Structure 1
Amino acid sequence: MTPDEFIAKWQSTTLKERSAAQEHFLDLCQLLNEPTPASIDPTGDFYCFEKGAKKTTGGDGWADVWKRDHFGWEYKGKRKNLNDAFIQLHRYAPALENPPLLIVSDMERIIIHTAFNGTVSKVHSLALEDLRIPAKLQLLKWAFSEPERLRPTLTTAALTENAARQFGELAQTLRQRGHDTQQIAHFCQQILFCFFAEDIGLLPNKSFSKLLEIGQKRLEHLPLMLTNLFNTMATGGFFGTEEIDWFNGGLFDAVTPLPLTRDDVRMLRELARLNWSAIEPSIFGTLFERGLDPNQREQLGAHYTDPASIMRLVNPVVLDPLREEWRLQKIKIAALMKKADAAKSTITRNKTIKSAQALLSAVFERLQNFRVLDPACGSGNFLLLALRGLKNLEHDVILDAERLGLPRSFTLVGPENVLGIELNSYAAELARVTVWIGEIQWMLNHGFSLAKNPILKTINIIDQRDAVVNADGSEPNWPTADVIVGNPPFLGGSKKRGVLGDDYFSTLGTIYAGRIPAGADLVTYWFEKARSQIETKKANAAGLVSTNSIRGGANRQVLERICKTTTIFNAWSDEPWINSGAAVRVSLICFGNTEVTPVLNGEKVAAIYADLTESDNDKKLNLTTAKLLLENNNVSFEGTKKYGAFDISGDLARSWLAIPNPHGLPTSNVVKPWRNGKDIASRASDTWIIDFGLNTSEIDAALYEFPFQHLLNNVKPYRDTVRRERTRKNWWIHEEARSGMRKALTGLSRYLCTPRVAKYRFFVWLDKTVLPDTRLVIVARSDDMTFGILSSQIHQIWSLATCSWHGDGNEGGRPTYNAKSCFETFPFPMGLTPADTGSGIETLDSGAIIPTVAAEYRDHAVAIAEAAFQLNQLRENWLNPPEWIERVPEVVAGYPDRIIAKPTYAALLKQRTLTNLYNKKPAWLVNEHVKLDQAVAAAYGWSNELSETEVLQQLLALNKARSS
């Protein structure tokens, strides 16, 4: 059949839908040279006419044509309303396995609606005459044979990002004009909802777009027009000749449109052209919030957490338990309905059906009353996804129950099922709008009519307040809820005081004393609060996001407390995540009262420990039970935390060192070489530090003229802005000057250090004159025996098992060595512990240094020290080949020599770093470590062939024995 023949036949037909539909479709097959349904699928398994379908709104129906993974097709009679046909087909879509194309036709027109997941729907309309156009005919051919070719290129995520970015730019423009930020937020959200309402048909006949068009021409009348529209939406009524529904819900109660320029209106008109019905509110809210909030403006173009990642918490905590409850109830209901069908008397049948209905009613009541709390809800993405999940589940229950023979029910789950706490005023209001839009989208996408009068039901689901500290310094109460989910704020324990201020920091310490260590990250307070809610039966389970550092250090104590009162039943230990626009590594942790088999990183396990490792029932290895050992106390410390630009270049430092001070004391008293983690893992930069120690007064510090003036210019202005009073007041002193570390280093000529965060765990020596940064962990020992034990594989295994992890979205997590969990829990070999070895040292003929030890342990000490000394010498020769460098004495006697590359070796020397060395692992390095490992294993009395698990078992046993 040619296009002309097809057009001629169907232009003249007067047949009704029932008489014409199948013949029309068969003619299309002939026109397109496509097989007919029966010719390739005689059984109707994947391609057929009159495909039975269950409507999403309940009841049975029939799709006129269906082809799996291609289309659902619905016919109407000539010139009938094809939009009604599309709505009907949309209701069939789930029963038709959600085909990517939904096609409607009335014999004169064929309209193709794309329905690919994650894309903005596109509509292709073909009139009969269009079939003469090859490109139009090709569209129809692809629908039959290659539907993927019709997949829209615009994704809902891209549409949403673009909309949020442009809206954020408008908010920023309004803010630059001095308007109140809260008023800007409310005004922008009113406009946002108008765009959405217009595109889903709640604002009729493009009334908002027309208003903007007129307003651009007559700008002086725009504020009044917006006021009239918003007022009408608040109460319902007429806007011009258009009848407007009653929206209300609080969104349009306060009507104070801001003055807009023609450029503003031009931007709004461009925004109005977007398909707002397809906006993804679960990500729009986050992105829009960044545009509204001046503190997040720099993150406007940053990424967001995708919904699939959030569902890794929502599914196990919210939905999976409810799905299982319904599965069990459905079995009981099915059995009752089967019994009713077999009943011989009407009385018995009715009684049995009533029992089934009672079970179903209990399920609906459970879902209707189920509450999800997000105590750090932001713009509501967790709440919306939880609400969608609950509504989807309720809808499945409705359809399943109808299939079992019970009467159709109506959806009752709604915004009141989700609750939030949010301090940020922008986010709190936006969360409500996010939930509203998501609720309306769900209802329309499932073929339900919207309840009206008003359309936006007033929902008091978001409390705008602090979730962990009340204004009066007391602990806040959280509302009772079935479950708790969310992404609490990330703020490192070392930064809490500086960011939050002394008063808030002290209040946290008072409220949560004995429950949360002072050094724990801010996120742990939400974990403890959720644990408390579960313990007091105000919640049953929780699923929260944390940085992956929660697995170690002070943070892990919060998880240990959780494990004592409830159970971690699902966790992802180290995953990429987006937080406030930044890529980070996180742990996703679900805990609560449940009897399900625990799942860790997607695999079933016997149990999940507080460090987010799995238990081994055979080995029973739980490293979270390791205790701090007194024998290791006051040996390991973090370096100083400067909190300001105390670091200076070597050239500047040397220029100051040559200038006398008015009191005659040398500048070298307060200006020293400095090392941070990068200096150790790479090559040392020529960086020095101004260090006024612990208690130098401001008057005495001023006598060191140039260093003091530098701090006055470069540190004091910054310190004046911080909240912590001590940090502000003592602005010339490092924020954490580490008095314990300084005391422990007294009398030592050198000390050990390791970067806190590093790909490899290596230890190096630093001269006594070098000040370590906070990103270094130092060990106040000068002997090669301790260096050897810490550099051994045995200690490496322990440190990796007890460390926390640090990383970002571009790389895997890197181990973070913690002085407490990695060093102070580590059991040294018997007789060689820091407490056993005293302060005396002995230099061996090789040059290796050992501490004084009991005679029966000396041979082990010597063997370890000799191997460690040799390893260090070879490493140093590789790092700084004598032929490539010159050692230049420093300007201050006693300071370490400067290492300067000879002219032809500068580039080569840059590549000589410890990280590069351990990346390569040359044979000589491996051999030296093997010798060292053998010496250390012998000191423990162990075979050198132990597996990592066996090493950890032995060390844990030693830890328990020594800490009991």
Structure 2
Amino acid sequence: MSLSWNEIKARAAEFVKEWEKETSEEAEAKTFWDDFFQVFGLNRRRVASFEVKVTKGYRQNGYIDLLWKGQLLVEHKSSGKDLDMAYQQAIDYFPGLKDYELPKYICVCNFQKFRLIDLDENTEVEFELKDLTNNVQHFAFIAGYIKRTYKDQDPINIDAAYRMGKFHDEMKNSGYIDHPLEVFLIRILFCLFAEDTSIFEKDSFRFLIENKTKEDGSDLGINLAQLFQVLNTPINQRLKTLDEEFSAFPYINGSLFSEALPIASFNRKMRDALLECTALDWSKISPAIFGSLFQSVKNPKERRNLGAHYTSEKNILKLINPLFIDELNEEFKRVKNNKNTLKEFHRKIASLRFLDPACGCGNFLVVSYRELRLLELNILKELHNSGQQITDINSISLVSLEQFYGIEIDEWPARISEVAMWMIDHQMNMLLSEEFGQYFIRLPLAKSAHIHIGNALRMNWDSLLDIDRTVDIHSQRANIIKIAEPAIQYGTVNLYTKEYHIIDKAPEREKSVLRFDFIMGNPPFSGARLMSKAQKDDIISVFKNVKGAGNLDYVCGWYLKAADYILDSNTKVAFVSTNSITQGEQVGILWNELFKYGIKIHFAHRTFRWNNEGRGIAAVHVVIIGFGCSEKDQKKLYIYEDIKGEPLQRTVSNINPYLIEGNDVFITRRNKPISEVPEMNFGNMPLDGGNLLFDDEEKDLFLKKEPNAKKFILPLISAKEYMNNVKRWCLWLVDAKPSEIRKMPEVMKRLKAVREFRLKSIAPSTRKYADTPSLFRDRNRPNSFILIPSTTSENRIYIPMGFFDKNYVANNSCHIIPNANLYHFGVLSSIMHMSWVKYTCGRLKSDIRYSKDLVYNNYPWPISPDEKRVNRIMKLAQNILNIRDLYPGSSLADLYNPLTMPPDLLKAHKELDKEVDLCYRPEPFLTESERIEFLFQLYVLYTKGSKKI
């Protein structure tokens, strides 16, 4: 198991201290590197050797200081020696190495300086020994992490989206709107792409606009309408008198230009906006631009409601690479040297079927098709590397658009995805043409991806495989076998035969059903509280009578729908989802159902920031989960030290629903703690419309008018005010007599307002409290209690909490633990408890949302801790409170901000952490993964017999 970065940095600091004065290469270099590998938790002897003999030139031998075959070559020099010479010496060893021994990294070092060269990424970093702690991430590969990088989109894609957005705005301002505008825009996009990619003659579309139309734009609409008609007319059916400027354009077909549109009325500004679009080189555009385009011209609210998410190719590759591209590339490497096996592999990839059941504008389908065609191109290079002339380039490409399927609820993005697939198909055909020296173009457009318009959660995904699958069979004899439920292979079979027999019973044979091989996508991100009624009904239709289904995000419907579809099959699935489905209550509800279908997680990206491209860039925190019904020995877990950065890859034996390495367990809500500890309660909800609450100024003004109310004014502790040392007050009338209340007119005014507020509520549960306007909804005010804010920043190392007595009222934005002591405070203030919180709490955006029933009641406390240990924890807990008192001018937000936390407070917490750890086991926890895995094992022990320990 890989060490945490905190542990690696701690070891690095010790390494620096140990070696800061060493200078001699011969004396200590080997020990230096042995210790260096230990910084990352790896025994050097397991992977690397010193003084590896290698032939440098004619009859010359050299000795590599340290070689980790296939990974790292180290050339080490004495202090002060030139690193450039050391690097050249390292390079000189390469001719004497076998291919599999060639390293990915070169490191040259002279004790005081390191220089690391990444040969794959062509990057270099140099730093001094004293700065090792801040540079350990560059050696992530030693710790078992693999850094995956994904190329960003070319900026021209974004520029194209902006220009088309501007053109759209000009068209819309002219009154050309709705469906005609959408179709018109798609056609313009295709024309721009076509003239730069040899579908049309180069610049022919721009030339038509510049030379065939007036500068004021008055006749541009008529000319474009005629062009669209020409593009939809076969060559042999066109008028013989057609102008040469139009007759030069090819026949496109594919329904793209078939619909008759109103003729647009252009002006100079609109014509200029269109010409500005023609100035770009559209051959460089990724077809995924269609998504960005659609995002730039649609209302953001509509995007969320319709699930239209547009993502960068970089992020799409994070999903499709581990889902199928990586494995197919590995298989290609294994079979490429055997032509017969390679031909079988070629036929295999041409038979694969892909489904995106929330395809939007087709981004995932586009990039997946491109990657499959690139793989096919590599196959074709191997199969036809003899230099023999290929007579028909069309016949050698087997991968087809027809292997790709999508479901989209809205017609507009569905049509965009079809055109995007035609675009990427043409780009790949041009690439194939360049490779084999033949021009290859598919016109007219005959084949296309199968994009189905409908609600993916309400339809049978198998039905998509019925699209356009009519087969004609000619035979002398035919047996027609009647069965109740035929497996879907073809939609219609036309049988031409002289003789036929209808057989009522099918012969015994292995059942074969056409299935999708890979299902992928980016379903809508709507959270449980943001879904429309129709979306909630969709979830209910999928989960039926599952308890708690109403608390699930919309994307969960796709997970269960996919699990049902792939049951007892080899189909693999991967979805992008908001990270909330791996946290808090949703984990137990969703995965309890998925496990019934035998689902296993094959790979996962932990939380990272998902940016959409376009004008209104939206960013959410997401995860990617790849799964199937089959088991895999090695599973990939991608971890983000920085959610905005690149992932580090780890190979693990199992990934559980919380996306950690460990057993498949999940927690669900429970009313009582699993351990023998005080119960936690909610704070008090005023339910008052603000009429029972005061800040300092409001309280003073109120008491001037109503001095008799002073004894009923109590400090109110809310989460935000507690963290920021802001005082609030409340009118607490639990012990007030009716006669006392009636004598206070200002109080009576406020109670009347409370009653009216509650009566106006649409919630029956609120209206019933109108009968008791003098009271909060809840009345939890124990003699003493620990207060825990319900929400806290994920950046804090610890959750700030504190003790209060009955003179304070806790607001409903906090949880309280009545009659708790310093031992309870100490354990809850520890890093052990915080590790549990991170993996079991829900989130409000990225902030932690503490839960009584999920987090506290399921937390596995130490089993029967030693009394001396308990006393020690209590003493350390009190020390934390004492240190906090030393900073009266600082709020808890100041004290617990990682950038401003006082060193003595941090040290006190660290001492407490060690003591709490020892309550769990005598061996120290080296990583957070160790902690959470231990806690989950203990949780299983606590709950195995539903008996408290």
Check the 8 A contact 2:579/2:623 in 1, yes or no.
Answer: yes
Among candidates 392, 395, 406, match of residue 374 of structure 2: 392
Aligned equivalents of 1:533 and 1:425: distance in 2?
25
Structure that is richer in helix per residue: 1
Check the 8 A contact 2:601/2:656 in 1, yes or no.
Answer: yes
Secondary structure (helix, strand or coil) at the match of 1:544 reads strand
Gap change, CA 1:223 and 1:630, over 3 Å in 2 = closer
Check the 8 A contact 1:575/1:587 in 2, yes or no.
Answer: yes
Aligned equivalents of 2:618 and 2:323: distance in 1?
26
Equivalent runs, 1:105-504 vs 2, <5 Å: 157-176=154-173, 179-204=176-201, 206-213=203-210, 214-217=212-215, 219-237=217-235, 240-242=243-245, 243=247, 244-256=249-261, 257-282=263-288, 284-295=289-300, 305-327=311-333, 329-330=335-336, 333-334=338-339, 356=340, 362-403=344-385, 409-447=395-433, 449-454=439-444, 456-457=445-446, 459=448, 461-469=450-458, 480-493=515-528, 495-496=529-530, 499-501=531-533, 504=535
Aligned equivalents of 1:375 and 1:468: distance in 2?
9
Matched, 1:526 2:558: yes
The one-character-per-residue Cα deviations of 1:589-639 (angstroms, maximum 9, x if unpaired) are: 222236462122222222222222224xxxxxx373567666417945777
Secondary structure (helix, strand or coil) at the match of 2:610 reads strand
Check the 8 A contact 2:793/2:848 in 1, yes or no.
Answer: yes
Gap change, CA 1:171 and 1:749, over 3 Å in 2 = farther
The one-character-per-residue Cα deviations of 1:869-903 (angstroms, maximum 9, x if unpaired) are: 4432431x23425xxxxxxxxxxxxxxxxxxxxxx
| Structure 1 vs Structure 2 CA RMSD | 4.8
Secondary structure (helix, strand or coil) at the match of 1:253 reads coil
Aligned equivalents of 1:321 and 1:703: distance in 2?
72
Check the 8 A contact 1:290/1:297 in 2, yes or no.
Answer: no
Secondary structure (helix, strand or coil) at the match of 1:825 reads coil
Shift of 1:218: 5.5
Matched, 1:632 2:673: yes
Aligned equivalents of 2:378 and 2:623: distance in 1?
31
Check the 8 A contact 1:377/1:421 in 2, yes or no.
Answer: yes
Aligned equivalents of 2:650 and 2:252: distance in 1?
47
Check the 8 A contact 1:367/1:413 in 2, yes or no.
Answer: yes
Secondary structure (helix, strand or coil) at the match of 1:604 reads strand
Aligned equivalents of 2:553 and 2:234: distance in 1?
49
Matched, 1:761 2:767: no
Secondary structure (helix, strand or coil) at the match of 2:519 reads strand
Aligned equivalents of 2:695 and 2:679: distance in 1?
30
The one-character-per-residue Cα deviations of 1:165-214 (angstroms, maximum 9, x if unpaired) are: 12113323444555443322211111111111222243346443244334
What amino acid is aligned across from residue 229 of structure 1 in structure 2?
A: L
Secondary structure (helix, strand or coil) at the match of 1:584 reads strand
Check the 8 A contact 2:295/2:310 in 1, yes or no.
Answer: no
Instruction: Give the match for residue 650 of structure 2.
Output: 603
Check the 8 A contact 2:917/2:925 in 1, yes or no.
Answer: no
Secondary structure (helix, strand or coil) at the match of 1:368 reads helix
Secondary structure (helix, strand or coil) at the match of 1:309 reads helix
Check the 8 A contact 2:583/2:839 in 1, yes or no.
Answer: no
Query: Which shifted more, 625-634 or 755-764?
Result: 625-634
Shift of 1:416: 1.6
Secondary structure (helix, strand or coil) at the match of 2:378 reads helix
Aligned equivalents of 1:412 and 1:192: distance in 2?
28
Aligned equivalents of 2:234 and 2:689: distance in 1?
60
Task: Give the alignment's TM-score, normalised by structure 2.
Answer: 0.62
Instruction: Give the match for residue 914 of structure 1.
Output: 895
Instruction: Give the match for residue 578 of structure 1.
Output: 611
What amino acid is aligned across from residue 326 of structure 2 in structure 1?
A: D
Gap change, CA 1:666 and 1:248, over 3 Å in 2 = farther
Check the 8 A contact 1:805/1:815 in 2, yes or no.
Answer: yes
Check the 8 A contact 1:169/1:291 in 2, yes or no.
Answer: no
Among candidates 833, 846, 852, match of residue 795 of structure 1: 833
Aligned equivalents of 2:188 and 2:681: distance in 1?
55
Secondary structure (helix, strand or coil) at the match of 1:318 reads helix
Aligned equivalents of 2:750 and 2:688: distance in 1?
18
Check the 8 A contact 2:329/2:375 in 1, yes or no.
Answer: yes
Secondary structure (helix, strand or coil) at the match of 2:657 reads coil
Gap change, CA 1:641 and 1:163, over 3 Å in 2 = farther
Aligned equivalents of 2:733 and 2:330: distance in 1?
64
The one-character-per-residue Cα deviations of 1:9-52 (angstroms, maximum 9, x if unpaired) are: xxxxxxxxxxxxxxxxxxxxxxxxxxxxxxxxxxxxxxxxxxxx
Aligned equivalents of 1:528 and 1:307: distance in 2?
26
What amino acid is aligned across from residue 598 of structure 1 in structure 2?
A: K
Secondary structure (helix, strand or coil) at the match of 1:923 reads helix
Secondary structure (helix, strand or coil) at the match of 2:581 reads helix
Give unpaired runs (5+ residues) of structure 2: 1-120, 122-151, 466-514, 639-648, 735-746, 770-775
Aligned equivalents of 1:686 and 1:707: distance in 2?
23
Among candidates 880, 889, 901, match of residue 871 of structure 1: 880
Equivalent runs, 1:764-843 vs 2, <5 Å: 764-765=801-802, 772=811, 779=817, 783-800=821-838, 802-803=840-841, 817-830=850-863
Check the 8 A contact 2:689/2:754 in 1, yes or no.
Answer: no
Gap change, CA 1:509 and 1:941, over 3 Å in 2 = same
Gap change, CA 1:942 and 1:226, over 3 Å in 2 = closer
What amino acid is aligned across from residue 411 of structure 1 in structure 2?
A: S
What amino acid is aligned across from residue 526 of structure 2 in structure 1?
A: L
Check the 8 A contact 1:490/1:521 in 2, yes or no.
Answer: yes
Equivalent runs, 1:501-580 vs 2, <5 Å: 501=533, 504-512=535-543, 513-514=545-546, 517-537=549-569, 540-557=571-588, 558-559=590-591, 562=594, 565-579=598-612
Query: Which shifted more, 557-566 or 756-765?
Result: 557-566
What amino acid is aligned across from residue 752 of structure 1 in structure 2?
A: L
Gap change, CA 1:450 and 1:947, over 3 Å in 2 = closer
Equivalent runs, 1:925-940 vs 2, <5 Å: 925-927=906-908, 930=911, 934=915, 940=919
Gap change, CA 1:623 and 1:245, over 3 Å in 2 = closer
Same amino acid, percent of matched pairs: 22
Aligned equivalents of 1:691 and 1:401: distance in 2?
84
Check the 8 A contact 1:200/1:277 in 2, yes or no.
Answer: yes
Task: Give the alignment's TM-score, normalised by structure 1.
Answer: 0.61
Shift of 1:777: 5.5
What amino acid is aligned across from residue 410 of structure 1 in structure 2?
A: I
Check the 8 A contact 1:541/1:590 in 2, yes or no.
Answer: yes
Aligned equivalents of 1:375 and 1:432: distance in 2?
14
Secondary structure (helix, strand or coil) at the match of 1:632 reads coil
Check the 8 A contact 1:552/1:821 in 2, yes or no.
Answer: no
Gap change, CA 1:961 and 1:666, over 3 Å in 2 = same
Matched, 1:650 2:648: no
Shift of 1:406: 9.9
The one-character-per-residue Cα deviations of 1:349-395 (angstroms, maximum 9, x if unpaired) are: xxxxxxx4xx6664444333311111121211111110011112222
What amino acid is aligned across from residue 440 of structure 1 in structure 2?
A: H
Aligned equivalents of 2:730 and 2:420: distance in 1?
50
